[in-house]
Amino acid sequence: MINFQTTPNEYKHWKLEISGSLATLSMDVQEDHTLADGYKLKLNSYDLGVDMELADAIQRIRFEHPQVAVVVVTSLKPRIFCAGANIYMLGSSSHAFKVNFCKFTNETRCAIEDDSKHSGRRYVAALNGTASGGGYELAIACDEIYLVDDGNSAVSLPEVPLLGVLPGTGGLTRLVDKRKVRRDRADVFSTLAEGLKGKRAKEWGLIDDHFPTSKFQEGIDARVQQLATKRTVAGPGIKLNPLGDYKYVKLELKREQRYADLTIHGPEGAQPTTVEEIHELGDSYWPLLAYRELDDALLNLRVNEPEIGLVCVRTHGSIESVLSVDQTLVANRDHWLVREIILHMARALRRLDLTAKSFFAIVEPGSCFVGNLLELLLASDRSYMLMDSGAAIAVSEMNAGALPMSNGLTRLHSRFLAEPAKVDDVFGHKKSFDTEEAEELGLITFAPDDLDWEDEIRVAIEERTSLSPDALTGMEASLRFAGPETMDTKIYGRLTAWQNWIFQRPNAVGPEGALTNYGKPTQAHFDFKRT
């Protein structure tokens, strides 16, 4: 049972130092503190446990240290920044675990870019030594990359030449799409096990600059100084306490039937309406706590419950309370804390979009699929809403752009690609809809009446959980992301799919595969058929 909750004083592998507007995140992986047996985390290589700490640190900087303008990502190990994902961990992991590991590390790197893009924090990768594989992929998720010139240190993506797999954490995509490295140079770089050093790495656009060892700290400090001046947000932040037992989210596992009921409870009692009151409540404020619990539940489902193939999403609570929370969020969205809360909700919802489980939204009387919680329904593969029941769904301004999908569209836009005018209809003067209206507008999939309700849902669950889980994953990944593509969707859709394929291939994971044989006296042998 893997637990995704951690705090800085529990970190084994990272040191987070805050000094005014500067945060320094230093990697110092303890090789024996692994999440599983059978490997050692040498040379700042990482496993899921290391990345959980990184994800936590980034989240914490945003909420606890809002004044931070620059985050320097570096290492405390001499001559090595980070050697990437631990190869023996990968070699000994199940396919399902490898895929989930890569997805989580991708989400962590996208969270860095989300912070940079939406909260204006600059991430500086200070490569005091070699950054290879996932180490360089971490660097390339930062805004700027500086490499020490010690005659030895390089950046590299040795996965293809050494392991027969892809750099699976967005490296290939970011090379050509983010840093816009020329494709032929990207090809050379990605097949060159030893990578490139200072001057050529800069010329090819792989790093922003390089400094000799004696000037490295000075160079980084000077750049940090330049970047730090722009920040206007002042603290104090709010503390993110460990989640403990969920307050607003209930996860009921029906393991024998391979599905789960995931219920999100709306806010209860009076809700704050001013920034001061929100700040006072801190991490117990409903939209923050409920979505942190949702996020945690999704990670738990992915990694600890692989056989659960379907999640029935339900909501319970007062429609008015959810809508009034939305009103407060929208009214105060320019304040840093409210902005961070909204951005966190958006990330949790994207985590759902990217989860390889089917989702059915179930709308009954007493449910509150409205405003921000309506996104759960729109993110689901299908929805069922009881006819003539008094159940209602409703939109708020939160559905109009605050919570975008990875493809940059709102979930309403994604839904109505054929009839964009319908999005305006939904936001027309009538913003709340009973079952008949919701069906007419195309907001829900099915609207069974009382007589059919239980049977229809039971049969739908049975049918869905009887299908091939692999085919469903590929199908959902294709149908959920219609319309435009972004770097994020390219990473999750295209790169991940290729990596999943390669992770299945004998050339990587068979007895003679490159991943299997890495570091062993035996040699990899390939079936050279190209497909």
Taking the complex as a whole, the smallest distance from the CB of residue 258 to a second copy amounts, in Å, to: 6
| Residue among 142, 132, 149, 147 at smallest CA distance from 195 | 132
Q: Using the rule CB under 8 A, is 502 a contact of a second copy?
A: yes
If you search the block for the tokens 């570096």, which residue do you land on?
74
Taking the complex as a whole, the smallest distance from the CB of residue 247 to a second copy amounts, in Å, to: 27
Q: Residue 530: how many CB atoms within 10 A of its CB?
A: 4
Q: Using the rule CB under 8 A, is 119 a contact of a second copy?
A: no
- Considering only residues 1, 234, 270, 418, which one is a binding residue for a second copy as defined by CB under 8 A? 418
How far is residue 379's CA from residue 358's CA, in Å, rounded to a whole number?
10
Q: Using the rule CB under 8 A, is 435 a contact of a second copy?
A: no
Taking the complex as a whole, the smallest distance from the CB of residue 441 to a second copy amounts, in Å, to: 11
CA 81 to chain centre: 23
385 three-class SS? strand
Q: Using the rule CB under 8 A, is 426 a contact of a second copy?
A: no
Q: Using the rule CB under 8 A, is 382 a contact of a second copy?
A: yes
- Considering only residues 120, 242, 401, 484, which one is a binding residue for a second copy as defined by CB under 8 A? 484
Residue 34 structure tokens: 């692994």
Give kind and range of the element (H or E) at residue 172. helix 171-173
Q: Using the rule CB under 8 A, is 140 a contact of a second copy?
A: no
Parallel, antiparallel, or unpaired for β 84-85 and 45-46? parallel
Contacts of 20 (CB under 8 A, 6+ apart): 67
How far is residue 309's CA from residue 298's CA, in Å, rounded to a whole number?
12
The letter for the amino acid at 457 is: I
Residue 131 structure tokens: 């950054």
Nearer to a second copy, 161 or 366 (CB): 161
Residue 328 structure tokens: 């407060």
- Alpha carbons within 13 angstroms on the beta-carbon side of residue 243 total 21
Q: Using the rule CB under 8 A, is 483 a contact of a second copy?
A: yes
Q: Using the rule CB under 8 A, is 179 a contact of a second copy?
A: yes
How many residues form the binding site for a second copy (CB under 8 A)? 92
| Residue among 352, 347, 355 at smallest CA distance from 379 | 352
Q: Using the rule CB under 8 A, is 500 a contact of a second copy?
A: yes
- Considering only residues 76, 222, 459, 467, which one is a binding residue for a second copy as defined by CB under 8 A? 467
The one segment of 44-52, 66-74, 170-178, 390-398 that binds a second copy by CB under 8 A: 170-178
- Considering only residues 67, 128, 367, 414, which one is a binding residue for a second copy as defined by CB under 8 A? 414
Taking the complex as a whole, the smallest distance from the CB of residue 77 to a second copy amounts, in Å, to: 28
Q: Using the rule CB under 8 A, is 404 a contact of a second copy?
A: no
- Considering only residues 339, 457, 490, 517, which one is a binding residue for a second copy as defined by CB under 8 A? 490
The one segment of 18-26, 69-77, 376-384, 429-437 that binds a second copy by CB under 8 A: 376-384
Q: Using the rule CB under 8 A, is 36 a contact of a second copy?
A: no
Q: Using the rule CB under 8 A, is 472 a contact of a second copy?
A: yes
Taking the complex as a whole, the smallest distance from the CB of residue 190 to a second copy amounts, in Å, to: 6
Interaction residues for a second copy, span 239-278 (CB under 8 A): 258
Q: Using the rule CB under 8 A, is 442 a contact of a second copy?
A: yes
Strand partners, 312: 261, 360
Eight-state DSSP code of residue 147: E
Contacts of 358 (CB under 8 A, 6+ apart): 309, 310, 311, 381, 464, 472, 476
Q: Using the rule CB under 8 A, is 172 a contact of a second copy?
A: yes
Q: Using the rule CB under 8 A, is 478 a contact of a second copy?
A: yes
- Considering only residues 320, 463, 520, 522, which one is a binding residue for a second copy as defined by CB under 8 A? 463
Q: Using the rule CB under 8 A, is 519 a contact of a second copy?
A: no
- Considering only residues 294, 476, 488, 517, which one is a binding residue for a second copy as defined by CB under 8 A? 476
Cis, bond preceding 420 (omega within 30 deg of 0):
no
Q: Using the rule CB under 8 A, is 183 a contact of a second copy?
A: yes
Contacts of 402 (CB under 8 A, 6+ apart): 329, 330, 333, 342, 345, 346
**Site map 291..330 versus a second copy, x via CB under 8 A:** ---------------xxxx---------------------
The letter for the amino acid at 229 is: T
Residue 371 structure tokens: 């405003």
